[in-house]
A and B are shown apart, each in its own frame.
Chain A
Amino acid sequence: MKRLTKLGLGAAALAALPSLALAQDAAAPGFDEIGPYIMTTLLFCMAGFLVFFMAAGFAMLEGGLVRSKNVTMQMTKNIALYSFAAIMYWLIGFNLMYPGDGWIMAGWVGPFFSTTVLDPVGVAAADAALDYASIGSDFFFQLVFVAATASIVSGALAERIKLWPFLVFVIVLTGVLYPISGSWQWGGGWLSEMGFSDFAGSTVVHSVGGWAALAGAIVLGPRIGKYAKDGKVIPIPGSNLALATLGTFILWLGWFGFNGGSQLAMGTVGDVSDVSRIFANTNMAAAAGAVTALILTQVMYKKPDLTMVLNGALAGLVSITAEPLAPTLFGALWIGAIGGVIVVLTVPMLDKMKIDDVVGAIPVHLFAGIWGTIAVVFYNGEASIVTQITGIIAYGVFTFVASLVLWFILKAVMGLRVSEEEEIAGLDMSELGMEAYPEFSNA
């Protein structure tokens, strides 16, 4: 479960630990007093940089699944979206998502225009939030999550979207949409009060990214040549499956931070052991998703499809993300396996609906995200299926509708798609004037 509220700097700490009021004369604080703060801050920092590395994972995965003429653009989108997310989260997002006492509309909307301020340099134990972690670690850890959400959108919309409208969408998504909906659950808002359970973000992060991607794919339209007039689906193979595989492994690695860090505490035997449980379950779900996709594509298509195996592993990871702690290893296995099934079945389904999702982001993050959120009830006795579905619907309606409106506005004001000639020549040349592989001639 994510942190419900952020504490103020000094008051709560002092109230909880009266011995520190005499800091000048007292003996040095023991592990019980400051250890948990130190360990949890450490957890956030390390888990945070693991999740940061998922940005590289997304970049490699997407770069490998697009054609060579669009690789530079995909790389540019990935590094730019991450950087904008970092800035927007400082500017508005963090405090909007974790209002503490500062709700504008209690439980629903936090304060706008509240930038993040870190703990002072060399903060004294007496002034630190000793029952939690440093502001910097909390801020950093949450920041890398919002960046992950934005990355999900970039994969689905690849190969035909203009750079700047996409980045404007990212700015609004990371500064406003994600923080508002995130505050409902992790900021202590109305959904968390209702008992909705989403440990590390199957809904808050993954399906939010998925809904935004779905809205974008619908408004943007499919790539030229993807669907023939008679409805036939034309495959557009990726340029570098080795990069796509590397990206998937990097995402898998980062997920240990994504789920493990969401324990939000590492200062007790129980907590650190829980982090290890989460690592084991997370890994199992990914493996199960990969194997399921491997077997399923072998059976359905007579040959396994590597890109589906990669998607399967990721879908397994998304599926366990809502509850990576409670399940047994067997539980993580079958939850992840169903994620793999979902992906193999829904990728062709989207194509039949003429929704062109270049990397399978919608099946992996939205559909598996919904499944993961529902799967919570199987091993977490405190969750109820009604509340889970309420949360799924709330996030879905808010994100999908807001995204749809935003995409339409961007389409009207800036235009979303490059022209037909530019799309055929490749976004690298038309949007950036720069090729990824200039020594090789394009097919």
Chain B
Amino acid sequence: MKLIVATIKPFKLEDVREALTEIGVRGMMVTEIKGFGAQSGHTEIYRGAEYAVNFVPKIKLEVAVSASMADQVIETISKTARTGKIGDGKIFVLDIGQAMRVRTGETNEDAL
């Protein structure tokens, strides 16, 4: 089982959600985050004083899938979320040691 963690631009969320649903992903977690990578910050002025805006709003997507689906999920997210400009985000893959569905008690692959 793999946990796929992806940061994407917020306006891409709907497209990514639709594309993932089409390939059979049946759940995901979405968090609003701020972040930066190569897309470094800029300065703004508030009432005459400068301040640095280092962080840019992003969406963090987390999807738990069986290992066999992982590559397809990565491919889908990457293609759908790409704009070609800096700030498109990153995708990480973590191993899941255990999983359980709360309602039924099903474990591991049955819980995904």
A233 within 8 A of B: yes
Query: B54 CB to closest chain A CB, in angstroms?
Result: 14
A-side contacts of B49, CB under 8 Å: 232-235, 348, 351
Inter-subunit contact A347/B46 (CB<8 Å) = no
Known: A233-B49, A235-B45, A302-B45. 17 other contacts (CB 8 A): A232-B49, A234-B49, A234-B51, A235-B49, A235-B50, A235-B51, A300-B48, A303-B45, A305-B46, A305-B47, A305-B48, A307-B46, A344-B48, A347-B47, A348-B49, A351-B48, A360-B47
Residue in contact with B45 in the complex, picked from A232, A234, A301, A351, CB distance below 8 Å: A301
B-side contacts of A305, CB under 8 Å: 45-48
Query: B29 CB to closest chain A CB, in angstroms?
Result: 17
Question: Could you show 23 A-B contacts with beta carbons less than 8 Å apart?
Answer: A232-B49, A233-B48, A233-B49, A234-B49, A235-B45, A235-B46, A235-B49, A300-B48, A301-B48, A302-B45, A303-B44, A305-B45, A305-B46, A305-B47, A307-B47, A344-B48, A347-B47, A347-B48, A348-B49, A351-B47, A351-B48, A351-B49, A360-B47
A-side contacts of B48, CB under 8 Å: 233, 300-301, 305, 344, 347-348, 351
Q: Which residue of A lies closest to B45 (CB)?
A: A301
Query: A441 CB to closest chain B CB, in angstroms?
Result: 12
Query: A231 CB to closest chain B CB, in angstroms?
Result: 11
B residues in contact (CB < 8 Å) with A:
44-51
A residues in contact (CB < 8 Å) with B:
232-235, 237, 300-303, 305, 307-308, 344, 347-348, 351, 360
Q: Please, how many angstroms separate the alpha-carbon atoms of A117 and B49 in the complex?
A: 51
Q: Please, how many angstroms separate the alpha-carbon atoms of A234 and B50 in the complex?
A: 7
Query: B21 CB to closest chain A CB, in angstroms?
Result: 29
Query: B112 CB to closest chain A CB, in angstroms?
Result: 30
Q: Please, how many angstroms separate the alpha-carbon atoms of A232 and B51 in the complex?
A: 10
A-side contacts of B50, CB under 8 Å: 235
Summed over the interface, the residue pairs from A and B with CB atoms below 8 Å come to a total of 35
Q: Which residue of B lies closest to A238 (CB)?
A: B46
Q: Which residue of B lies closest to A360 (CB)?
A: B47
Q: Which residue of B lies closest to A349 (CB)?
A: B48
A-side contacts of B47, CB under 8 Å: 235, 305, 307-308, 347-348, 351, 360
Q: Which residue of A lies closest to B49 (CB)?
A: A233
Instruction: Please provide the 6 A-B residue pairs with the shortest distance between their CB atoms, ordered closest to farther.
Output: A348-B48, A235-B46, A233-B49, A235-B51, A301-B45, A235-B49
Query: B90 CB to closest chain A CB, in angstroms?
Result: 24
Q: Please, how many angstroms separate the alpha-carbon atoms of A305 and B50 in the complex?
A: 12
B-side contacts of A347, CB under 8 Å: 47-48
Q: Which residue of B lies closest to A352 (CB)?
A: B48
Query: A192 CB to closest chain B CB, in angstroms?
Result: 38
Query: A393 CB to closest chain B CB, in angstroms?
Result: 29
Q: Please, how many angstroms separate the alpha-carbon atoms of A235 and B50 in the complex?
A: 7
B-side contacts of A360, CB under 8 Å: 47
Q: Which residue of B lies closest to A302 (CB)?
A: B45
Query: B87 CB to closest chain A CB, in angstroms?
Result: 21
Q: Please, how many angstroms separate the alpha-carbon atoms of A360 and B49 in the complex?
A: 14
Q: Please, how many angstroms separate the alpha-carbon atoms of A307 and B48 in the complex?
A: 11
Q: Which residue of A lies closest to B34 (CB)?
A: A443
Q: Please, how many angstroms separate the alpha-carbon atoms of A300 and B47 in the complex?
A: 11
B-side contacts of A303, CB under 8 Å: 44-45
B-side contacts of A344, CB under 8 Å: 48
B-side contacts of A302, CB under 8 Å: 45
A235, A237, A351 — which one has the most chain B CB atoms within 10 A of its CB?
A235
Q: Which residue of A lies closest to B48 (CB)?
A: A348
Q: Please, how many angstroms separate the alpha-carbon atoms of A234 and B52 in the complex?
A: 10
Q: Please, how many angstroms separate the alpha-carbon atoms of A344 and B51 in the complex?
A: 18
Query: A232 CB to closest chain B CB, in angstroms?
Result: 8
Q: Please, how many angstroms separate the alpha-carbon atoms of A302 and B50 in the complex?
A: 12
Q: Which residue of B lies closest to A65 (CB)?
A: B47
Query: B41 CB to closest chain A CB, in angstroms?
Result: 14
Inter-subunit contact A237/B46 (CB<8 Å) = yes
A-side contacts of B51, CB under 8 Å: 234-235
